[in-house]
A and B are shown apart, each in its own frame.
Chain A
Amino acid sequence: MSARVLGAGAGLVIVAALIAAPFGLKPYGIYILTLWAVTTIAAIGLNLTLGYAGQVSLAQGAFVGIGAYAAALLTTHGWPLGSAYVVAAIACFAIGWVLGYPALRVQHHYLAFVTLAFSTLLYLVFRNEEWITGGIYGISNIPRPNLFGYLLRTPRDFYYFCLANLALVSLAAWWLIRSPWGRAFVALRENPLRALSLGVDTRRYTLMAFALGAGLGGISGVLYAPLVQYIDPTPFSLLLSLNLLLMVIVGGSGYFFGPFVGAVVAVLLPEWIQSADKLFEALGPVGEALRVVLPPDALKYVAKHYLVVYAVFVMVLLVFSPSGIIGFFEKRLHRVAHQQRAARTGHRSEGGVMASVLEVRNLPSSSAASMRSRAYRST
């Protein structure tokens, strides 16, 4: 079975699972899943900035905040959520452009500093400008959106709405990556010097990627506000920006599905670990069997210290696969594809090492043992 068919099949299973999920979950579970969908949108935006244009942005959380406050202010004053999309997208895109324009004319990491400063600035604005943002008291009673007269009140309804948003954003991102712009992004990521010599305005494309990424952050915020129905400055600090950065890198920077996987790790994994002991209950007889093998208090310990477990997991993952989870699987698939190709063309090979091709003896400076060079399989 070809990799494509397998991939498409897996994709369909996942989509089906996402659609069926809310029927087996309590409201809190549906809330977490919705949070995953909303966060993925912000991560997709950051992936464009970091993964495709290679720029570190520490302000994605701030852009989410702009979107959230825009939605909160507009909807609590009777405007439809649709207006918030427009305001947030335009505002974040424009701010991204204004921030990036001077920053990208200078050296490499300048944008990181500018976005760091902006993130801090915006947090202070959220906190202190009480007359508009409500300061530390925040904005409450944010209504759920109204879709052609149907109020998306229940967790399940709002979850499907967010899922639909995610689907649209994914399609748009896919279309962008497939366009000449996507080609230019790959070029400026792989070899900016060559890209320049071919007429690719790397500065302009990088700026575009950053501004678009910021816009998507705003859209994510627009969905976040009605999800939690109360916002204050706390969620939109530098911590969110760093978390989003973690998502993109752990998922696989520059891979299309990286943000999706990264958001699972950052949003869902802590929840799963936290309820590790209950997980085995849920698994029924299999869980019982596993519980016999594992020490009884181990799971409770893990669940209580889920943050430590989570942090260790992320660190270990990045040590073993700096290109993230998707990168890890891609390398595996390459190796498998390579093996298949080798098998088809009839190369004799056992376990990745071929028979001795070159033998070097009696090197003057080395020890008495002769050296054998074995042909490596190229990755």
Chain B
Amino acid sequence: MRLDGRAVTGMRPCDLNRLGVSRTFQLLQVFPELSVRENLILAAQEHKGSMLTRLFGARDVGLTGDAERMIEFFRLAHVAANKAGALSYGQQKLLDAAMAFMAGPRLVLLDEPAGGVNLTMLANLRERLEAINREQRATFVVIEHNMEFVMRLCSRIVVLAGGRIIAEGAPEDVRRDPKVIEAYLGH
């Protein structure tokens, strides 16, 4: 595997993250005992300075501001001071996404972001992802089963079935592809 031409196979996740790759998780992974704000600050703290400056230098420079902006953006202001474990599932999903974006990554892997989310929240989530994609201009790689979510969010779709690529291209083309219809849409 290569990132910008650089081999990254077998790299530790933390090193990969420092190269500008971040991800969300299919099974929610927030830090339940930390507050929402602290979750967000944690998500970016390793990208500022070194281990030593994090202890002795100017800590969390600008991170509180970044965290506030992210809270505003994902509309979590009303629960910002609560422990992440006390949030509802949908709110935790938003937090999970927000954490992935805190460090300003170049590549974001979204693992089943729509999993277990109700319809209203889904539209909200999709809209926020589109907005942050425009704002930060990171590349998204989304793994998802929810066809409608994928069709509306993504500009290019690769469809896999049984471990093989069966279709590739723009949403409109993929939607009409007979192989895709047979495999996923069940007509």
Contacts and interface: CB of A to CB of B under 8 A. Distances in A.
Chain A interface mostly: helix
A186 B55 contact: no
Interface stretch (A34-42, A113-121, A192-200, A284-292): A192-200
A24 to B, nearest CB: 40
Contacts of A198: 14, 17, 22, 42-43, 46, 99, 103
Interface string A45-77: 000000000000000000000000000000000
Interface in A168-205: 176, 179-181, 183-184, 186-187, 190-191, 193-202, 204
User: Which of B22, B38, B42, B103: most chain A Cβ within 10 A?
Assistant: B42
A239 B91 CA distance: 48
B25 interface: yes
Contacts of A193: 13, 29
B31 A190 contact: yes
Contact of B46 (A179, A194, A200, A208): A200
Interface residues of B, number: 28
B51 interface: yes
B42 A187 contact: yes
Most B CB atoms within 10 A — which of A179, A198, A200? Answer: A198
B26 interface: no
Contacts of B59: 179-180
B133 interface: no
Interface string B54-73: 11000110000000000000
A196 B29 contact: no
B23 interface: yes
Interface in B30-60: 30-34, 38, 41-43, 45-47, 51, 54-55, 59-60
Contacts, number: 74
Contact of A191 (B31, B45, B51): B31
A186 B33 contact: yes
B45 to A, nearest CB: 5
Contacts of A201: 14, 46, 51
A191 B47 CA distance: 19
| Max chain B C-beta neighbours (<10 A), residue from A180, A184, A186 | A180
B12 interface: yes
B31 A194 contact: yes
Given A196-B14, A198-B17, A181 B55 contact: yes
Most chain B Cβ neighbours within 10 Å, of A181, A187, A195, A199:
A199
A13 to B, nearest CB: 28
B98 to A, nearest CB: 12
Interface in A271-313: none
B18 interface: yes
A57 B124 CA distance: 47
Given A180-B59, A183-B42, A197-B14, 20 more contacts: A179-B59, A180-B45, A180-B54, A183-B34, A186-B33, A187-B42, A190-B31, A190-B34, A193-B13, A194-B31, A195-B42, A198-B17, A198-B22, A198-B103, A199-B14, A200-B14, A201-B14, A201-B46, A202-B14, A208-B51
20 contacts: A179-B54, A179-B55, A179-B59, A180-B54, A180-B60, A181-B55, A183-B38, A183-B42, A190-B32, A190-B34, A191-B30, A194-B30, A196-B14, A197-B17, A198-B14, A199-B18, A199-B46, A199-B103, A202-B14, A208-B51
Interface of A: 176, 179-181, 183-184, 186-187, 190-191, 193-202, 204, 208
Q: Which 3 A-B pairs have the closest CB atoms?
A: A199-B46, A199-B17, A194-B29
